[in-house]
Amino acid sequence: MHPEVVIFIGPPGGGKGTQADILAEESGFHHLESSKVIEAKFNAVPPGTDATMDHERELWKTGKLNTPELVRAWMLERIRELAARKTSIVLSGSPRTLFEAEGEMPVFEELYGPEHVHILHLKVDAEVSVARNSKRRICEANRHPIPNLPSYEKLTTCPKDGSPLTTRALDDPSVIRVRLKEYAERTEPILEYLRTRGYTIIDIPGDNVIDAVHAHIAEALERRRLPIPQE
């Protein structure tokens, strides 16, 4: 089977990470998270030793997007590594800016072929986004998202890897609203750019429960001859 690329675009709290995790688990995709790539770069440089990285950390903490030139270079490095191994990729947080999209999409098309790149737009109301993010947790080891649902409320460790659960400063309601503004101004314009490149944007209602959203995604991808198992 030819390797594929699935790109989720949507606001904070839209379910991108959760749905990308499901796709990775069920279909063998590599979930390439820009947030993980960025944090790995931060962790490799101790605070106070590099002014540029210190500035990027401050942007991160306040909910603003990191410098597109840096993020694009870091992401392209990982994309080329995965493509060299013929690995299918699902992205849940990249590209985040038009500049990143203009750099990443030609590379995806070169390495995978445009017919193997699929764009899914998770549509979620802003207040739903705030409510979801302000109460969600992630695991310390692998950042698995733990949804804000009653069935997960009493969990203290990640059901996937057993590591402790934690909340992120990024998920403070005031920070989330900054992130939503950043999304509207700097990420949503990517959708029109992708249309001009000939891509069909698949709209997915993201306000529903996880399984229902996954079923909608699976149906949409199957119509593109990319079969995804459904529970």
Distances in Å between the alpha carbon of 105 and those of 20, 32, 114? 19, 15, 9
Give the C-alpha separation, 176 to 169, whole Å.
10
Residue written as token pair 């909910």: 63
26's CB contacts (< 8 A; 6+ apart) are 228, 229
User: Length of the chain, please?
Assistant: 231
| pLDDT the model gives residue 192 | 97
Q: Locate 106 and state its tokens.
A: 């030609």
Give the C-alpha separation, 71 to 41, whole Å.
10
| pLDDT the model gives residue 170 | 60
| pLDDT the model gives residue 132 | 66
Give the C-alpha separation, 124 to 120, whole Å.
13
**Residue 140: left if φ>0, alpha if ψ -120 to 50, beta else—which one?**
alpha
Could you say which residues of the chain have pLDDT below 70?
130, 132-136, 148-151, 167-171, 173, 227-231
Class of domain 5-127+186-223: alpha beta
DSSP string for 114-164: GGGEEEEEEE--HHHHHHHHHH-EEETTT--EE-S-GGGTT--B-TTT-PB
- The pTM assigned to this predicted structure is 0.80
DSSP helix/strand/coil, 1: coil
Give the C-alpha separation, 94 to 16, whole Å.
11
DSSP E strands in 41-109: the ranges are: 89-91
Residue written as token pair 């991808």: 221
Give the C-alpha separation, 29 to 196, whole Å.
27
| pLDDT the model gives residue 64 | 87
In this structure, the strands spanning 117-123 and 5-9 are parallel
| pLDDT the model gives residue 71 | 92
